[in-house]
């Protein structure tokens, strides 16, 4: 995106600025030479005599963006005169450039003696700041959009590793010499389930970007039947990572209204997050209990727990802890799935003693 080129200051102000010449110091800069950098001492402002100066600032993840291009008759570095603070941007000569540098003290003395000049410069400052702020916000939004695309791509890669590993293993076993027909059918079913799981993951990401998307299609199902199928599917994957899944209390046979694929996404996120916290293996415990008209499910791990400073942002988008390739989007999606099912989700933890994630599902007969 090309930097905006401000219109030269008005004729009256340009004429007034000529009064700065006796008080200023002439400076010359080669193409590409930095005139001042962000953070430098703001000790005065510059008037461009000839050439062009580029104003840039850091936005987003440490990326420099051009905010303006200043030509002859315009000035820059004026904020240092206003607030006596360090430079907030970097100025670089685009081409061979000549400027007039006026120290802060000299300029303030001139403005005290010439109120008309002070008023016009203040008006120009205001216009300039509005334009730069608008450009800065545009660049910030563009940088954030690009960063979000990167986060979504990272999320997809991270979440697809598990299903792809299972598909690879099932394919190898199905193609191995001596594999029976029944085993091949079992492997084919496994591949189909993991393919459907990845499809659901992608749909969740799409749904996240479209908050007003389609509501889940809930249907009554015995919870015990659903959970038995889920644990059969996920236990081998966890075992490969040295994690044991323990069902501490029998899943109740009560009916709940769910969309199985979406609810499985919630379980997978919680279980894989727990496994990520136990790099050397460990145990994940599932518990269930009825409380009033709902079923409460608890997922407990014996990892290091949730740091207190991270607890408040746990379910916020892109909040992550301890995962170089994680974004925290998984827990945000968990919350959305729980709420779409008419339930809620929360977490408790004691640092060093593991974490427990709990969520609720309304019982089917308590919903109209």
**pLDDT tens for residues 334-346?**
898 999 999 999 9
CB-based burial label for 235 (10 Å; 0-12, 13-18, 19+)? middle
Binned at pLDDT 50, 70 and 90, residue 366 comes out as very low
**For the chain, what is the largest distance between any 2 Cα atoms, rounded to a whole number of angstroms?**
98
CATH number, domain containing residue 283 = 3.30.565.10
**Contact yes or no for 344/358 (Cβ under 8 A):** no
Say yes or no to pLDDT of 200 above 90. Answer: no
Rounded average pLDDT over 137-162: 66
- Verify that 159 and 259 share a domain, yes or no: no
- Asked, for residue 117, whether it belongs to a domain, the answer is yes
Last residue of a domain, one of 143, 166, 195: 143
pLDDT for 327 equals: 46
The CA–CA distances, whole Å, from 330 to 143, 156, 268, 338, 346 equal 22, 10, 10, 12, 14
Say yes or no to pLDDT of 210 above 70. Answer: no
- Asked, for residue 246, whether it belongs to a domain, the answer is yes
- Verify that 190 and 329 share a domain, yes or no: no
- Verify that 203 and 230 share a domain, yes or no: no
Q: What is the token pair recorded at 338? A: 């729980």
276 versus 4: the higher-pLDDT residue is 276
53 versus 332: the higher-pLDDT residue is 53
pLDDT for 119 equals: 72
Q: How many CB atoms lie within 10 A of CB 270?
A: 25
Last residue of a domain, one of 143, 159, 176: 143
- Asked, for residue 3, whether it belongs to a domain, the answer is no
pLDDT digit string (tens) for 313-332? 788 776 665 554 444 567 88
Instruction: Measure the CA dihedral 249/255/259/265, to 10°.
Output: 0
pLDDT digit string (tens) for 87-108? 888 999 999 999 988 888 877 7
Q: Which of 161, 190, 163 is nearest to 174 (CA)?
A: 190
Say yes or no to pLDDT of 312 above 50. Answer: yes
182 versus 110: the higher-pLDDT residue is 182
pLDDT for 190 equals: 85
- Verify that 197 and 292 share a domain, yes or no: no
- Asked, for residue 359, whether it belongs to a domain, the answer is yes
143 versus 166: the higher-pLDDT residue is 166
- Asked, for residue 152, whether it belongs to a domain, the answer is yes
- Asked, for residue 5, whether it belongs to a domain, the answer is no
Total structural domains within the chain: 3
- Verify that 189 and 289 share a domain, yes or no: no
Collapse the DSSP code of 287 into the 3-class scheme (helix H, G, I; strand E, B; otherwise coil) and give the result. strand
pLDDT for 39 equals: 86
pLDDT digit string (tens) for 280-304? 889 999 999 998 899 999 999 988 8
- Asked, for residue 214, whether it belongs to a domain, the answer is no
Q: Which has the minimum average pLDDT: 56-65, 180-189, 269-278? A: 56-65
- Asked, for residue 6, whether it belongs to a domain, the answer is no
- Verify that 124 and 179 share a domain, yes or no: no
The domain of 82 spans 11-143
Instruction: Report d(CA 215, CA 140) in Å as an integer.
Output: 33
- Verify that 258 and 342 share a domain, yes or no: yes
Q: How many CB atoms lie within 10 A of CB 188?
A: 13
Q: Which of 149, 354, 235, 338 is nearest to 346 (CA)?
A: 338
Last residue of a domain, one of 87, 115, 143: 143
- Verify that 243 and 327 share a domain, yes or no: yes
Q: How far from the centroid of its chain's Cα atoms is residue 328's Cα?
A: 9
The CA–CA distances, whole Å, from 259 to 220, 254, 287, 341 equal 9, 16, 21, 8
pLDDT for 342 equals: 92
What integer best gives the mean pLDDT of the chain? 80
- Verify that 194 and 112 share a domain, yes or no: no
198 versus 218: the higher-pLDDT residue is 218
Q: What is the token pair recorded at 318? A: 């892109």
Binned at pLDDT 50, 70 and 90, residue 203 comes out as low
- Verify that 159 and 135 share a domain, yes or no: no
What is the per-residue DSSP string for 56-96? EEEETTTEEEEEEEE-TT-EE-THHHHH----SSEEEESSS
Q: What is the token pair recorded at 216? A: 């889940």
pLDDT for 140 equals: 58
283 versus 115: the higher-pLDDT residue is 283
- Verify that 355 and 230 share a domain, yes or no: yes
- Verify that 355 and 225 share a domain, yes or no: yes
Rounded average pLDDT over 240-264: 92
CATH number, domain containing residue 25 = 2.60.120.10
């Amino acid at each position: 995106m090309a930097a905006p080129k401000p219109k030269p200051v008005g004729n009256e102000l340009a004429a007034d600025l000529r009064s700065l010449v006796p008080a200023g110091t002439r400076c010359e800069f080669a193409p590409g030479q930095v005139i001042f950098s962000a953070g430098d001492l703001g000790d005065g402002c510059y008037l461009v005599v000839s050439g062009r100066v580029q104003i840039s600032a850091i936005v987003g993840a440490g990326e420099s963006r051009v905010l303006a291009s200043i030509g002859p008759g315009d000035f820059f570095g004026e904020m240092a005169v206003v607030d006596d603070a360090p430079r907030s941007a970097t100025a670089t000569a685009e081409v061979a450039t000549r400027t007039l540098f006026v120290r802060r003290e000299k300029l303030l003395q001139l403005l005290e003696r010439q109120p008309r000049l002070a008023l016009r410069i203040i008006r120009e400052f205001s216009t300039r700041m509005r334009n730069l702020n608008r450009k800065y916000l545009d660049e910030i939004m563009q940088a954030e959009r690009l960063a979000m695309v990167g986060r979504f791509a990272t999320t997809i890669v991270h979440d697809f590793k598990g299903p792809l590993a299972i598909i690879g293993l099932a394919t190898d076993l199905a193609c191995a010499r001596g594999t029976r027909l029944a085993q091949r059918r079992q492997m084919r079913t496994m591949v189909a389930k993991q393919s459907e799981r990845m499809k659901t993951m992608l749909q969740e990401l799409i749904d996240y970007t479209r908050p007003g998307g389609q509501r889940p299609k809930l249907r009554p199902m015995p919870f015990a039947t659903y959970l038995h199928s889920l644990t059969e599917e996920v236990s081998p994957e966890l075992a490969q990572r040295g994690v044991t899944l323990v069902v501490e209390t029998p899943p109740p046979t009560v009916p709940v209204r769910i969309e199985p694929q979406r609810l499985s996404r919630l379980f997978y996120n919680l279980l894989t997050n727990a496994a990520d916290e136990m790099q050397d293996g460990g145990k994940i415990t599932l518990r269930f209990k009825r409380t009033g008209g709902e079923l409460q499910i608890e997922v407990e791990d014996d990892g290091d727990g949730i740091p207190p400073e991270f607890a408040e942002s746990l379910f916020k988008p892109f909040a992550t802890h301890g995962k170089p390739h994680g974004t925290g989007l998984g827990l945000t999606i968990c919350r959305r799935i729980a709420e779409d099912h008419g339930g809620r989700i929360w977490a408790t933890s004691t640092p060093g003693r593991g974490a427990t994630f709990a969520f609720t599902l309304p019982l089917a007969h308590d919903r109209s």
